[in-house]
Amino acid sequence: MSIPDLPHLGGLVFGTPLMIARPKLDTILQVLSFRLQGDSTDPAVPTGDQPFVVTPNGIAIIPVLGTLANRTFGLAAMSGLASYVRLGEQLDLAAVDPAVKGILLDVDSNGGQAGGVFDLADRVLALRGVKPVYAIADEACLSAAYALACGAERFYVTQTGAVGSIGVVALHADQSGADEKAGVRYDYITAGERKADANPHAPLSDEARATLQAEVDRLYGLFTGMVVKQRAKVSRQAGETALKSFHL
């Protein structure tokens, strides 16, 4: 991956709510830190942007693999990103293909970006009225990946599969110390209240933290409410209590 790709990848990770398992986020941060330090070694990562195949009995297998993002801008093959836009296109194709009798989401993902996931999850649920939709956690089906898969009418898990990690996280990178050591100071000239909130060249202010926390809480409410609605077997209160046990 070339260094010019870093701004896009950084924008997917820093300062925006994520629905991703924390160990996977730690791995991404480690890779990004190597990139920022000039390491050009490409880690071995899976790709999730492959076309689906149809089994002899008419089941379209749609891979949901790697880290999930709303759009990948051509980075999927080299960085292990899977696109919500691309997955939506595959679902649409499977829905109208007369050779497809059912759809299986083959999931091995620790989750990813919050933006775009709920709209795609609604499309998965809507497909249940068109064709049977199944999902399998093989091996990880965590966070945003679970948000997509929980709308399936049948959900399978391998013996060593992991399901859940229902939550939202946002990360702020404070590089002001590094800026000072490098002899660089960034001054933001802004118009509009708190336009420069959560920028990486200053510590996170209390106001910016509160704003980011409110958005994380809002998305968490959407996530838990969606899971309870789509699984539809327990009351909201009982479901939210059960959800806490999924955290990894």
Instruction: Give catalytic residue positions.
Output: 143
CA distance 64 to 57: 21
Instruction: Tell me how far CA of residue 83 lies from CA of 58, 64, 87, 157, 193, in angstroms.
Output: 24, 9, 6, 23, 33
Strand runs labelled E in the chain: 18-20, 53-54, 59-65, 67-69, 81-83, 102-109, 111-113, 133-142, 154-157, 162-164
Phi and psi at residue 16, in whole multiples of 5°?
-140, 140
CA distance 95 to 132: 10
Q: Is the dihedral of CA 226, 228, 127, 112 positive or negative?
A: positive
CA distance 74 to 139: 25
Other CB atoms within 10 Å distance of the CB of residue 33: 11
Instruction: Tell me how far CA of residue 198 lies from CA of 9, 33, 173, 212, in angstroms.
Output: 17, 19, 9, 9
